[in-house]
Amino acid sequence: MEGLPEFDLTGFTPYRAAVAAQFLSERLAREYRSRFGISIPDWRVLVHLAHSGGASVRDIENAVVMEKSKVSRTASRLESRGLIAKRPQARDRRLVHLTLTEEGRALMRELLPLAAAFQAKLESVLGADFESFDRTLGRLIEMQAGEDPF
């Protein structure tokens, strides 16, 4: 466009990373959506609870990079399906502690192998590039938790 500086969006790393993340997320979601009727936010909350053993909405918000209101709505939906349980935290009754129910754990026993198979397929598709890709992702994720180099 006239008057604007040159900019190659297709070579811009944040754009490319977002497109790749969305593609991978949607590709896996196709499988669990059709088999288990869960959405991407459902998956993120469930898998975090399966991994952590239980967490607050705030913990999940920070861990899975979802807005607090979206985590809360997702948790309410999952609770109504009987997949998670909510209870006030002992230290601060304003905070809610979320855990998987037995039904939620049963779902995750089916769902986690699906995710592991997806991971194995991704590693196979990327071949020798996977190890470097994974290391780079790790460095970027560590930047989020540490000092901002920008």
> Quick check: pTM over 0.85?
yes
User: Where do we find the tokens 């297709």?
Assistant: 10
When mean pLDDT is compared across 16-20, 59-63, 132-136, the lowest value belongs to 59-63
pLDDT band, residue 143 (cuts 50/70/90) = confident
Decide if pLDDT at 1 tops 90. Answer: no
Q: Model confidence over 28-67: pLDDT tens digits? A: 999 999 999 999 999 999 999 999 999 999 899 989 889 9
| Neighbour-count burial for 85-119, b at 16+ CB within 10 Å, e otherwise | beeeeeeeeeebbbebbeebeebbeebeeebeeee
Q: Which helix (H) or strand (E) holds 84?
A: strand 84-88
Helices 102-126 and 13-36 cross at an angle (nearest 10°) of 130
Structural domains present in the chain: 35-126 (1.10.10.10)
Alpha carbon separation from 54 to 27, 49, 106, 139 (Å, rounded): 27, 5, 16, 26
Alpha carbons within 13 angstroms on the beta-carbon side of residue 2 total: 0
The pLDDT value recorded for residue 145 is 76
CA 102 to chain centre: 21
